[in-house]
Structure 1
Amino acid sequence: MAKKKLYSLYIFVMVVADAAAQGNGASGINQATQMVTSYFDPATKLIYAIGAVVGLIGGVKVYGKFSSGDPDTSKTAASWFGACVFLIVAATILRAFFL
């Protein structure tokens, strides 16, 4: 009889401990979600800044090719412009998708 009471007490303690652990897990997941979503605004601004730098470098390179009379200028301009547009659109879509 004492073994049954001890066993019942053991089961009760394990169930209570399991329930308490699940509550802490949910709050941990919520905290992690808040931390990840708080990184999106700075990351989006960083991607916009990288896009601006890429655009400036591309503009200088295209101007250099145009000044030297290179016939490949339009392809270079299109590729740099496409890279800048991709960075801006990707940052905007990722932010909209995850937030």
Structure 2
Amino acid sequence: MKQILKRGQLLIALFALGIYHSLAQSSAGIDQATAEVSSYVDPVSNLIIAIGAVVGLIGGVRVYIKWQSGDQDTQKAIMGWFGACLFLILVGVVIKAFFA
């Protein structure tokens, strides 16, 4: 009976060590993935901000052309382009803040 009890304790100890080892491996993988993603955050964020600047320039030119031609929906175009630029710039800033 003592031998069966010792075998049971040994199996439980081996099982616990196996779980501990597998958790240690998964946390190392998660740490590596976090470092990999963090290395891409700044370039992606800067790219999004640059795209927002280009969209702003294009929008400004299109609104200016509408304004010069006397279109009635100039304010609607201004709000649409301004909203798009603001969204892109805020996304770039939020990505940096989220992963910092």
TM (norm. structure 1) is: 0.78
Q: Count the aligned residue pairs.
A: 99
Partner of 2:33: 32
- Give ranges in structure 1 of 5+ residues lacking alignment: none
Displacement, 1:81?
A: 1.9
How far apart are the structure 2 equivalents of 1:16 and 1:78? Answer: 61
Distance in 2, matches of 1:71 and 1:8, equals 83
Which residues in structure 2 correspond to 1:30-69 (within 5 Å)?
Answer: 30-69=31-70
Post-superposition shift, 1:3? 4.3
How much does 1:82 deviate?
A: 2.5
Q: Using the alignment, how far apart are the partners of 1:62 and 1:43 within structure 2?
A: 28
One-letter amino acid matched to 1:12: A
For 2:5 and 2:82, the matched residues in 1 are separated by: 76
**Structure 1 residue aligned with 2:15:** 14
Structure 2: runs of 5 or more not aligned: none
Residues 28-68 of structure 1: CA distance to partner in whole angstroms, max 9, x if unpaired? 22112222222211220121122122112212211221221
Amino acid at match of 1:92: V
Distance across 2 between alignment mates of 1:33 and 1:26 = 10
* Seq. identity, %: 48
